[in-house]
Structure 1
Amino acid sequence: MHATVNAATLERVLGHRTRFDARFGQYFDSLAGRFDLPVPSRYVPRCLDLLRDLSMRGGKRLRVVLLYEAARLVTTEEVPGLAEAALSIELLQTHGLVHDDIIDDAPLRRGGPSTYYAYRREFPGHGATALGLAVLAGDLAGFLSTQVLLEAEAPVALRQALLGVHTRTAAETVAGQIADLERDAHALPDEEFLHTVTDFKSARYSILAPLTMGLLAAGEDPAPHRARLHRYARLVGISEQMRDDCLDLFGPFGEGAGAAPAVADKSTGADIRSGRRTYAVRAVLAAATGADAALVEAALGDPRCPDATLERIREIARAAGVDGRLKAEIRRHAEEAAAEAASWEPYWRAEAVEFFRSLPMWNVDRMP
């Protein structure tokens, strides 16, 4: 974490992750008894196995950490509903990953096969079956994410409030996915449009929803604070998305001051090959001229784009100072998010506010 996050906070964050992973495993173990399975179906148990594999395989559990730390803004006591809220938000994440990998035709996710490609291997020559099963697997994860809240051991009013945040967030995330596809239809998407896509597609469910649900579970009405929470979520989301896009174009950043090397979740250049007009790709398109611009446009959307061409695009980007400008923007948004969190001190516990103030700089500190 950021250098200002002390050892006790790091230990607490690790504890959130460890306890959640154990709880997530128990949840999947109990699924067969939580709803009726069509017997003697083999496909349904296999679907649950694939969802479990993807869900348990990795990820930073940022949403889980944010959820528990949001409750600490109000109290250090254990509060009902947090565990179920964490399960629900991570199941919604699984739903999104399964469908995202179908949309992107992505073979890899979290160091292993995507659910879609796992089915494609199991049903060679039956593409429609593989596609249908993958879509349904994502749907199942989404429906399970709401069911777990309905069954939470928490007061009815809290369950309903958490479910309201969850379903609103799910709808906004799908809207963001639709806008994400629209982004790639623009020759040079406006940067504000990219910010909006990031806000809806990722920031609202990865940051705003955990913050809101954590406060709800702790007994705080988040409604008066929605604007400040949203500002923070949007700024962190933009900084993180810019970093991911920069990572895909230029490769792992390497080691920052005392930081571990970054590890990519997908192959470098995947955005170019898939024709995604991300923050980094947009910056290259805006900077390139003449033959360089034509080369970038020709490479966009070519799944067989040679590594040599990708390297040439990186050279064009570096020569135009794209990498430096992106890193400056990543840092600026992170610093603005930290300042936003610092303004929360009149409302919540100072120790918990400090965690949110320090968090945005974590990925920035990993850049050289």
Structure 2
Amino acid sequence: MSVARLPDRLVGHQRRFEKRFAEYFDGLGSVLDVPAFSRFTPECLQLLRELSMRGGKRMRVVLLYEAARLVTEEPVEGLDAAALSVELLQTHGLVHDDLIDDSATRRGGPTTYYAYRERYPAHPRAALGLTVLAGDLALALSLRVLLDAGLPAGVRQAMVEVQTRAAADTFVGQIVDLERDFAASAPDVEVLHDVADRKTARYSVLAPMRLGLLAAGVEPGAHEDELRRYARLTGICGQMRDDWLDLFGDEAAMGKPTGGDLREGRRSYAVTRLLAAVTGSERATVEAALGDRSCAPDTVAEIRAIGERHGVDALMEDDMRRHAEQARQVAEGWRGRWRAEAVDFFARVPRWSVERTG
């Protein structure tokens, strides 16, 4: 399977999961113990459903199913519950991320926070509180769906531990991500790598792989070091790509404007590399834009041109490809132990992640 064909592989997993996710939300009202008088709880569940079902590549779900296929091509009980858990944890993250960033839109629709602000304009504190609680509910549901799964108690417990650890790692990653941008100087690359690992890789790559292996009857702890290394490298090159796209990407392909990291004052991979490359008036231009939420598109375009002139875009692409190659080599080491077709998939994922345009 070529890198170019990798997205086609996602479609089957995505379609199957989308149907299962919709069924889950359809039945959620009868599962939760909601007071009959409550109007806000059904509203909260509807907002979570709208956000959860509104697009997304479902790459975590794909990694989960493909991790089980490393072991067997037969149907594996528990994968659907694990997939729901993974995406509900993602929903939790989206709700809170959008609140932290004060984002108005997500995936072509209003964020949960802005939906509440629109519904209750006279009650801003209630809108804020309801948003936090919506995210918290998504987190609780991500664990409950595992506890309610028809799996042996030991497997359920192990899966809950995976997700609990992934959530905690992500929260720490979010904290140090904010802390990174408070520093007087730009962070070094190891700090950026650590933030990417904790904030993204552990819950987006490592946890789905652990869950898939657990469902297939394999104890992931026996392969912990190589799974962690693969996840970290894949997460790093994926985060680099996100940061690259935010400055050098095609707005039409991404469906959103570039320059978000500049406007928010984030010391991303691209911004950090850019600051290290420029001096004098060019540096002054970048520093003036950093944290300016009203930064005009023309200024972002000027800064993009500065970055291209100094080869920042090309240097970042080289870094991405190097990390993707290292991740591929980790996956290649699984040959002979696990099924070749699934190993092929994991060997190609890092390269695909750095070639995407959105």
Match of 1:170 among 155, 167, 172: 167
In structure 1, the partner of 2:249 is 251
Q: Does 1:129 align with 2:126?
A: yes
Q: For the structure 1 residues 250 and 125, does the alpha-carbon distance in structure 2 shift closer, same or farther, using more than 3 Å as the test?
A: farther
Distance 1:107 1:4 in 2: 33
In structure 1, the partner of 2:196 is 198
Distance 2:272 2:38 in 1: 47
- Describe the SS at the equivalent of 1:360: helix
Is the 8 Å Cα contact of residues 2 and 359 (structure 1) preserved in structure 2?
no
Match of 2:104 among 103, 107, 120: 107
In structure 2, the partner of 1:141 is 138
Distance 2:187 2:21 in 1: 39
Q: Does 1:346 align with 2:336?
A: yes
2:67 alignment partner AA: A
Match of 2:27 among 6, 26, 30: 30
Distance 2:26 2:232 in 1: 35
Q: Deviations over 1:34-80 (max 9, x none)?
A: 11112222111111011000000010000111001000111111122
Is the 8 Å Cα contact of residues 3 and 351 (structure 2) preserved in structure 1?
no
Distance 1:136 1:33 in 2: 20
Distance 1:281 1:105 in 2: 20
TM-score (ref. length: structure 1): 0.93
In structure 1, the partner of 2:257 is 267
1:37 alignment partner AA: V
Structure 1 gap segments, 5+ residues each: 254-260
In structure 2, the partner of 1:55 is 52
In structure 2, the partner of 1:330 is 320
Q: Deviations over 1:103-126 (max 9, x none)?
A: 111111112111111111112243
| Superposition CA RMSD, Å | 1.7
- Describe the SS at the equivalent of 2:33: coil
Q: Deviations over 1:169-211 (max 9, x none)?
A: 1111111110110111122011100100000001000000000
Distance 2:324 2:136 in 1: 34
Q: Give the length in aligned residue pairs.
A: 356
Q: Which has the higher helix share?
A: 2
Match of 1:43 among 31, 40, 44: 40
Distance 2:242 2:319 in 1: 13
Match of 1:280 among 262, 270, 276: 270
Is the 8 Å Cα contact of residues 152 and 159 (structure 1) preserved in structure 2?
yes
Is the 8 Å Cα contact of residues 4 and 358 (structure 1) preserved in structure 2?
no
Distance 1:146 1:172 in 2: 15
Cα offset, 1:364, TM superposition: 3.2
Cα offset, 1:233, TM superposition: 0.7
Is the 8 Å Cα contact of residues 120 and 127 (structure 2) preserved in structure 1?
yes
Identical counterparts, % of pairs: 58
Cα offset, 1:2, TM superposition: 4.1
Match of 2:283 among 290, 293, 302: 293
Distance 1:144 1:366 in 2: 31
In structure 2, the partner of 1:210 is 208
2:3 alignment partner AA: A
Is the 8 Å Cα contact of residues 243 and 270 (structure 2) preserved in structure 1?
yes
In structure 1, the partner of 2:11 is 14
Distance 1:39 1:298 in 2: 54
Is the 8 Å Cα contact of residues 87 and 148 (structure 1) preserved in structure 2?
yes
Cα offset, 1:3, TM superposition: 3.4
In structure 2, the partner of 1:256 is none
- Describe the SS at the equivalent of 1:39: coil
Distance 1:99 1:242 in 2: 22
Cα offset, 1:10, TM superposition: 3.7
Cα offset, 1:131, TM superposition: 1.1
TM-score (ref. length: structure 2): 0.95
